[in-house]
Amino acid sequence: MLKFSKLAVVLLAVGLALAGCSSKSEKKAALDPFAGTGSPRWTGKGAPPWGGGRNHVGKPYQVAGRWFTPKVQPDYDKEGPASWYGEAFNHRKTSNGEWFDMTRLTAAHPTLPLPSYAKVTNLDNGKEVIVRINDRGPFVGPRIIDLSKRTAEVLDFKTRGKATVRVQYIGPAPLNDNGKHLVAMNKELNRGTSLNRMIAAADRRKGSASSPDVMVAEAKPRKKKAQAAVETVAYAPPQPVEVPQSNGVETSYFIQIGSFANAGNAARARDAFASVWPVQFIELEGSNGPVYRVRLGPITASADAQTALENAQAAGYSDARVIRAQAMQAALQ
């Protein structure tokens, strides 16, 4: 009996020790879930909530013999291989304490601040999207970003597994987002809003969809060029917008997006900017049939005209240019 009691005590002590180790391991995984499948799993009903967690940069860390140094990188713009992750990590905690949902537009990055926004462009097909970075990784070879399953579907490389991408840092993401801000960010991407103005624009125009997790930016070519103009217009030469010397006459600016032989292409160009800038849609008679011209304007401030030009070029209309009102009047005569 005494021997049994001593044995029971020993077994109990061993059990408590193992429980203590397990508890410490779980706590470590919760704070630093690089172990992936070892991080806590969402046990609530339905999909896990959006956002939450913490703003986090972190100290240098080592994974598989490699050192990574997280830091604020406002000018981060890098090209390289991307991969995606899904079922094995679905509904588990990310590195900043959010819940990973593979059906949402999120990503893991080894060093950018958490949570933050980045524009990801698939260089193999030109498709692009804004993602919320809320996790650390990838830690395999030269890969620069790990994207959610949904993001891989939007960028059209899910079946291939990997793609060559361009990652451009935009700025910090709101901590307690309900998904609508990310929707608004992708709407601004569609509108051609420049990256340095995108967060402020999304703050003003948050999305209102009932299912924000499935709303994404329209995947479009990175370099979408307008069809060649079929008419000749006397443009002002491309140059930075300058306010003319005051002569008592109000000056307006227009951003020439392009002239299109196809009405559908012209309509898409018009719709891309209609909610941001005044847009002119003009039908003209060309030598080979109707021609559809799209212009942004009139815009009275030279700074706004420069911003509109940047929006047009960021949207892929690389031939966009500024026309002063006087030059435009001469061209129409």
Angstrom distance (rounded) from CA 260 to CA 190:
20
Angstrom distance (rounded) from CA 47 to CA 60:
32
The answer to whether residues 200 and 110 belong to one domain is: yes
The answer to whether residues 180 and 275 belong to one domain is: no
**Is residue 54 in a domain?**
no
**Is residue 65 in a domain?**
yes
Angstrom distance (rounded) from CA 82 to CA 178:
26
Q: How many Å from the N-terminal Cα to the C-terminal Cα in the chain?
A: 112
pLDDT at residue number 250: 54
The answer to whether residues 181 and 266 belong to one domain is: no
The answer to whether residues 67 and 188 belong to one domain is: yes
> Are 99 and 86 spatial neighbours (Cβ–Cβ below 8 Å)?
no
**Is residue 236 in a domain?**
no
Residue 266: both structure tokens together? 């012209």
> Are 294 and 314 spatial neighbours (Cβ–Cβ below 8 Å)?
no
pLDDT at residue number 237: 34
The answer to whether residues 97 and 197 belong to one domain is: yes
pLDDT at residue number 206: 58
The answer to whether residues 172 and 274 belong to one domain is: no
pLDDT at residue number 288: 78
**Is residue 203 in a domain?**
yes
The answer to whether residues 97 and 153 belong to one domain is: yes
The answer to whether residues 103 and 174 belong to one domain is: yes
Domain that holds residue 210: 61-214
Instruction: Note the pLDDT tens digit of each residue in 148-190.
Output: 999 999 999 999 999 999 999 999 999 988 888 999 999 999 9
> Are 30 and 39 spatial neighbours (Cβ–Cβ below 8 Å)?
yes
Beta bridge partners of 281: 294
Domain endpoint, select from 214, 243, 267:
214
Residue 106: both structure tokens together? 């999120």
Measured in whole angstroms, the distance separating CA 71 from the mean position of its chain's CA atoms is 19
pLDDT at residue number 276: 77
The structural domain count of the chain equals: 2
> What is the edge-to-edge ordering of all strands in the sheet holding 279-286?
279-286, 289-299, 253-260, 321-324
- What is the DSSP-derived secondary structure letter of residue 241? -
Q: Three-class SS of residue 103?
A: coil
Domain endpoint, select from 156, 191, 214:
214
Angstrom distance (rounded) from CA 293 to CA 230:
10
**Is residue 16 in a domain?**
no
Q: Which residues contact 223 (CB under 8 A, 6 or more apart)?
A: 126, 316, 318
The answer to whether residues 153 and 270 belong to one domain is: no
**Is residue 172 in a domain?**
yes
- Tokens 């061993």, residue? 14
pLDDT at residue number 326: 54
Helix axis angle, 195-204 relative to 180-191, nearest 10°?
Answer: 130
- Tokens 């060649």, residue? 228
Amino acid at 35: A
pLDDT at residue number 151: 96
CATH code for the domain in which residue 179 is found: 2.40.40.10
The answer to whether residues 205 and 280 belong to one domain is: no
CATH code for the domain in which residue 297 is found: 3.30.70.1070
Instruction: Note the pLDDT tens digit of each residue in 287-309.
Output: 778 888 999 988 888 888 888 88
Angstrom distance (rounded) from CA 201 to CA 204:
5
The answer to whether residues 299 and 187 belong to one domain is: no
Q: What angle do CA 131, 320, 266 make, to 5 degrees?
A: 80
Residues of the chain with pLDDT under 50: 1-37, 207-215, 217-249, 327-333
**Is residue 6 in a domain?**
no
**Is residue 193 in a domain?**
yes
Beta bridge partners of 167: 78, 120
Domain endpoint, select from 214, 242, 269:
214
The answer to whether residues 112 and 184 belong to one domain is: yes
